[in-house]
Amino acid sequence: MIMKSAPKGLHGKILRFGIVGIGNTLVDLSIFALLTLVGIWALPANILSWGVAVSISYWVNSRWSFERDVEIGDRSSFLRFVSLGALISLGVSSGFIVFASGLIGIWPAKIIGTIVAAVLNFLASRWAIEGRLR
């Protein structure tokens, strides 16, 4: 259920962002699993699964988790969100896949990268949608 108004308090934003993040993580991991199962190499599979998950994440977070800054247009907000997501969540998870999967395996690398990126992604998402970091 998507509510029309975003929470005003930081705790509510963190809770909603976390709920959306869990759902998006399940989407990301499911698509990643399917793609690697059919033989797609881990890095391209990670990029594709992230692309689907980040699109869903933007739509839900911009309408439910954060207060929209009306001065930031939807297109600009989406581009900020995806750009920061590419640097943070895609960059961190791909980095773990490339540099750690040989040591710990693809799945542990993917999961650890996803967890590390989640914390950084909250701040980036809030800035992209609300136009502020605090």
Quick: pLDDT tens for 64-111. Answer: 887 777 777 888 888 988 888 888 889 999 999 999 999 999 999 999
Cβ count near 134 (within 10 Å): 7
pTM tops 0.85, yes or no: no
With respect to residue 3, please indicate whether it lies within any of the assigned structural domains. Answer: no
Residues across the chain: 134
Q: Which amino acid is at 13?
A: K
Is residue 55 assigned to a domain?
yes
How many domains, in total, are found in the chain? 1
**And the tokens for 100?**
């750690």
Phi, psi of 120, rounded to the nearest 5 degrees: -65, -35
Q: Does residue 123 fall inside a structural domain?
A: yes
Give domain status of residue 51, yes or no: yes
d(CA 89, CA 108): 16
Q: By residue range, what is the domain housing residue 31?
A: 10-65+73-130
95 inside domain: yes
Residue with tokens 């970091």: 133
Report yes or no on 5 lying in a domain: no
Residue 118 has pLDDT above 90, yes or no: no
